[in-house]
Amino acid sequence: MNNPRLQLRPGHLSLSDLRKANREPVSVSLNRETWQRIRACRQVVDDVIANGDVAYGINTGFGRLAQTTIDIGNLAKLQENLLLSHAAGVGQPMQDRVIRLAMLLKLNSLARGYSGVSCEVVELLAGMLNNRIYPVVPGKGSVGASGDLAPLAHLSLPLIGLGHVRVDDRIQDSVTALQQVGLQPISLRAKDGLSLLNGTQISTALALSALFDAEMNADAAFIAGSMTVEATLGSRSPFDAGISEIRGLHGQIEAARIFRLILDVSELGHSHQACDRVQDPYSLRCQPQVMGACLDQLRHAAGILEIESNAVSDNPLVFPDRKVILSGGNFHAESVAMVSDNIALAVAEMAALSERRLALLIDSHLSQLPPFLVADAGLNSGFMIAQVTAAALASENKSLAHPACVDSLPTSANQEDHVSMATFAARRLFDMNENSSYIIGIELLAAAQGLDFRRPLRSSDTIESAHATIRSVVPTWDRDRLMHSDIEAAFRLIKDGAFDSSVSHYIDAR
């Protein structure tokens, strides 16, 4: 497989590494020192078994059954039973990009040498990732504490020759897929199954993938918002550096700078310097404040998720230097849940602001453009119902943005009496990002239409480039036609990152 190669330094995955794995298949390799740490940690587990000591999950039951000691002859069966019983997920399978990230995160965690797994587990998991063998994992069934148990069980089934995998978009049984690339299922040893199932890797992978989608939406929103300023002959003064600097919020300062760079100088900007408009509506004037707040939330989330991507989050944990095995709660994904909730707020607000700008564009009293952005309005309805679609999606996002982390239902007979709901917190972001991409895409179409009505005056180079990108897939709306196709085309531009290069290099520390 000609995948981009990644020398895995456990505990040192960067956001750049994670973006790459989200975008495309990767191949990982581990150095000699890493394998030595894995073996040293495994030796502690083997010593516990040989000495007849009792350690949770190694020779005991799980959850509320932790007080039950398991005979040494059943330790391997205990781990197999764990995978089988915990593979209780339901719903549609997760996307390959999420599973690829989750596999990378699980490898990164196990390879740090605190989980006590067998080398064979790490070898096979890496072999599957390198050969693009992605387990089929149902999307629902985790509460985000005692780890992502159900989805990680499904992810781990192929290691023992069970479950299904996806290879090149085809679903196969795991044994066949492994054999086709020269791999074989393994037999789990003590603690192997528990180390695979415990952890926040699914929640974190979902949140990371959604974060990267949110960043693309932010890039498109900066372009759309700038285009709308130009199309409506909006003022540039709200983007003045001094206004944001005396407030002091980093995100706002950065957002104002991005808008200044995109808007730059233009014929359109000069055309209305002597107009009598005193102030623009908030959806134009307060863009640095709103988009800046969103940037701050996304940046905070990125930092937390980068740390969590490098975390050891299973239980119990093995400390080879101290030769002790300790039970804790690193599997509790509260941090992932909270930042997922924060991402949800940012995604909802970026789209809500975009919908308001769209409403402004189609309102001829505010925009000084033809009603609903179409000639011969009345015979033609133009963007009238496209704005209704955007409003419906923005409203849906408001409901989805309700925080998930404040909800908790006890599980495992009240042994696990507070949970994070991180998996849902991150999973709902995909629907929200999709809604937002459609909303921003509709605004891009409307703003491009507005610029067409301002011809022959031209905008800045960046905006004219974005306008040309839109017009390469959607012609000017000169009379009513099938709107759905245009919306889908604009949506695809955003999802394909067509506006990323115009904005991302302006954004600090991405």
Residues with a catalytic annotation lie at 56
Q: What is the dihedral of CA 77, 158, 155, 151, to 10 degrees?
A: -60
Per-residue b or e along 393-414, where b marks 16 or more CB atoms closer than 10 Å to that residue's CB: bbeebeebbeebbeebeebbee
Cα–Cα distance, 481 to 484 (Å, whole number): 9
Which amino acid, residue 122? V
What does the block give as tokens for 78?
A: 């205990």
Tabulate helix, strand, coil % of the chain (nearest 5). Answer: 60, 5, 35
Contact 422/334 with Cβ under 8 angstroms? yes
Contact 20/26 with Cβ under 8 angstroms? yes
Q: What does DSSP say about strands 164-167 and 138-140: parallel, antiparallel, or unpaired? A: unpaired
Positive or negative, the CA dihedral 106, 108, 109, 110 is: positive
Segment (H or E) for 171: strand 170-173
Cα–chain center distance at 265 = 35
- Find, among 255, 229, 227, 230, the residue nearest to 241 by Cα: 255
Cα–Cα distance, 217 to 213 (Å, whole number): 6
- Find, among 220, 347, 232, 357, the residue nearest to 287 by Cα: 357
- Cβ neighbourhood burial of 504 (10 Å; 0-12, 13-18, 19+): middle
Secondary structure (3-state) at 336: helix
Cα–Cα distance, 458 to 510 (Å, whole number): 31
